Amino acid sequence: MGSSRLELLGENIFNFFLEGERLKQEVNLYLEEIRKGKRSAATTLHVVRSVAGGEHRVEVALSATQTDSQPMITAILRDGEGR
- CATH label of the domain that carries residue 68: 3.30.450.20
pLDDT of residue 58: 93
Q: Which residues of the chain are under the pLDDT cut of 50?
A: none
Distance of CA 32 to the CA centre of its chain: 16
Q: Using an 8 Å Cβ cutoff, are 62 and 27 in contact?
A: yes
Q: Mean pLDDT across the chain, nearest whole number?
A: 85
What confidence score (pLDDT) does residue 20 get? 92
d(C-alpha 23, C-alpha 16), whole Å: 11
- What total number of domains does the chain contain? 1
Residue 11 lies in domain = 5-79
Q: Are 26 and 33 in contact (CB under 8 A)?
A: no
Q: pTM higher than 0.85 for the full model?
A: no
Please give, one letter per residue, the 3-state secondary structure of 45-69: EEEEECCCCCEEEEEEEEEEEECCC
